[in-house]
């Protein structure tokens, strides 16, 4: 009976995909801004498959590219219908999933008539849907590295005979170390949906992006308010184009994490960094950035405009011992770098007994 039910579910999915209705693009959760509101073009681009873990049957799902009114690609989208099965108990889950153009999950929607359900006929509540969204946003979830059987305690939980159309079958209690991140009573639904969202589909999206990549798309990525897009565009940006986009690159630098800041400081060409205005903008960020990025700025002093020396002299008490030694080594290589204001700042900091490394400044000043 259960095998027959699974076959009917799979057949229903296959037929349903042949004649798709017009999609409702309104997501329940969406971690970008409002890209979905301006969708006017919807085209099928590829299929990906998932495995029914009980009956080992491949199920195909369509992925579509959503473009805006100007014809510019904005999102990947899939109306997923899949059986969630365990111990011969199945339900048909319906969920509309959105990915950004890099293949990152960004949101999902649920049709009112197809609410997700869990153990004992209970529908997902508001908090359950929120938890599912948070789980799907985590592309490094423990679900990535575990089989579903690894997530269940061996001691079984009593079950009753339940309508296979509406429950999330489960034969044991979810292990406590993972339970907090999952919907209570919804282990199999969470596991199945997470692997659909983060599996083969994402790999195909990454490959598909290369086929639609263009200068226009990279410009959109660079100026979009999303760090992943910005860093992708920076990796693709030829060094000779840095000057044209210098203002935006500085904006990205200010909001990027430590890894992003380090990438920018390593890649920015010396002839760009040496410009007076560019030097001023980057080096005046010194007190606001992480320790590693500060070290990189000091290491690039020889590439920067000479003003950088004076700018950093305002932040001597923010430097670590090694950073201060690097800075003084640069000054020692050419005393002409030491302006009147810079010398004044050096003397002032050398007398500041509250600055742990003031003695290094005193030693340096005694030698010049």
pLDDT tens digits for 71-124? 999 999 999 998 876 556 677 889 999 999 999 999 999 998 888 988 766 889
Alpha carbons 123 and 129: distance in angstroms, whole number: 10
**In this structure, what token pair is assigned to residue 339?**
């302006």
Who has greater pLDDT, 74 or 26? Answer: 74
> Residue-wise over 3-28: b if at least 16 C-beta within 10 A, else e?
eebbeebbeebeeebeeeeeeebebb
CA-based nearest residue to 232, from 217, 242, 212, 251: 217
Most confidently predicted of 118-127, 146-155, 209-218: 209-218
- pLDDT of residue 302 exceeding 60, the answer is yes
- Stretch among 102-111, 155-164, 211-220 having the lowest mean pLDDT: 155-164
Position 153 pLDDT exceeds 90? no
Q: For residues 241-250, give the mean pLDDT.
A: 96
The pLDDT value recorded for residue 48 is 96
**Least confident segment among 160-164, 274-278, 315-319, 339-343:** 160-164
Beta bridge partners of 62: 47
Q: Mean of the per-residue pLDDT values for the chain? A: 86
CB atoms within 10 A of CB 322: 12
Beta pairing partners, 267: none
CA dihedral over 64, 68, 72, 73, signed as positive or negative: negative
Residue 142 has pLDDT above 90, yes or no: no
pLDDT tens per residue, range 35-75 = 999 999 999 999 999 876 556 778 999 999 999 999 999 99
pLDDT of residue 151: 65
Instruction: Find tokens 């899949």 and name the residue.
Output: 82
CA distances from 287 to 173, 244, 322 (A): 50, 26, 16
Between these two residues, 211 and 192, which has the higher pLDDT value?
Answer: 211
**Residue 260 near residue 229, CB atoms below 8 Å:** no
Query: Which of 237, 266, 263, 264 has its CA nearest to residue 250?
Result: 264
The pLDDT of residue 79 is 96
Q: Mean of the pLDDT values across residues 131-147?
A: 88
The answer to whether the pTM exceeds 0.85 is no
Q: How far is the CA of 201 from the CAs of 76, 114, 280, 352, in angstroms?
A: 10, 23, 45, 59
Three-class SS of the chain: CHHHHHHHHHHHHHHHHHCCCCCCCCCCEECCCCHHHHEEEEEEEEEEEEECCCCCCEEEEEEEEEEECCCCEEEEEEEEEEEEEECCEEEEEEEEEEECCCCCEEEEECCHHHCCECHHHCECCHHHHHHHHHHHHCCCCHHHCCCHHHHEEEEECCCCCCCCCCCCCCCEEECHHHHCCCCCCCHHHHHHHHHHHCCHHHHHHHHHHHHHCCHHHHHHHHHCCCHHHHHHHHHHCCHHHCCCCHHHHHHHHHHCCHHHHHHHHHHCCHHHHCCHHHHHHHHCCHHHCCHHHHHHHHHCCCCCCCHHHHHHHHHHHHCCHHHHHHHHHHHHHCHHHCCHHHHHHHHHHHCCCCCCCHHHHHHHHHHC
Q: What is the pLDDT of residue 185?
A: 82
Position 139 pLDDT exceeds 80: yes
Is residue 152 within 8 A of residue 173, CB to CB? The reply is: yes
- pLDDT beyond 50 at 17: no
């Amino acid at each position: 009976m259960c095998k027959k039910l699974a076959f009917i579910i799979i057949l229903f999915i296959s037929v349903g995909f042949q004649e798709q209705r017009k999609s409702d693009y309104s997501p329940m959760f969406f971690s970008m801004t409002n890209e979905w509101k301006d969708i006017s073009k919807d085209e099928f681009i590829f299929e990906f498959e998932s495995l029914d873990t009980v009956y080992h049957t491949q199920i195909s799902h369509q992925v579509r590219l959503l473009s805006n009114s100007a014809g510019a690609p904005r999102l990947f989208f899939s109306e997923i219908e899949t059986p969630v099965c365990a111990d011969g108990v199945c339900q048909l889950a319906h969920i509309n999933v959105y990915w950004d153009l890099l293949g990152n999950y960004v949101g999902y929607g649920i049709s009112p008539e197809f609410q997700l359900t869990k153990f004992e006929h209970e529908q997902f509540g508001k908090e359950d849907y929120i938890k599912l969204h948070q789980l799907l946003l985590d592309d490094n979830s423990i679900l990535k590295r575990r089989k579903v059987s690894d997530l269940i305690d061996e001691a079984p939980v009593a079950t009753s005979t339940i309508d296979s159309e509406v429950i999330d079958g489960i034969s044991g209690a979810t292990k406590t170390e993972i339970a907090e991140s999952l919907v209570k009573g919804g282990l199999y639904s969470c596991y199945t949906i997470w692997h659909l969202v983060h599996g083969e589909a994402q790999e195909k999206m990454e490959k598909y992006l290369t086929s639609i990549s263009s200068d226009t798309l990279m410009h959109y990525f660079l100026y979009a308010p999303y760090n992943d897009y910005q860093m992708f565009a920076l990796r693709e940006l030829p060094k000779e184009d840095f000057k044209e986009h210098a203002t935006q690159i500085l904006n990205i630098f200010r909001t990027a994490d430590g890894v992003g800041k380090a990438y920018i400081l390593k890649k920015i060409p010396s002839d760009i960094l040496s410009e007076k205005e560019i030097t001023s903008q980057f080096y005046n960020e010194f007190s606001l950035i992480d320790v590693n990025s500060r070290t990189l700025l000091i290491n690039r002093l020889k590439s920067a405009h000479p003003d950088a020396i004076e700018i950093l002299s305002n932040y001597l008490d923010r430097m670590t011992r090694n950073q201060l030694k690097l800075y003084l080594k640069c000054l020692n290589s050419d005393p002409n770098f030491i302006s009147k204001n810079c010398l004044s700042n050096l003397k002032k900091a050398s007398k500041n007994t509250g600055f742990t490394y003031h003695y290094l400044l005193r030693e340096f000043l005694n030698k010049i």
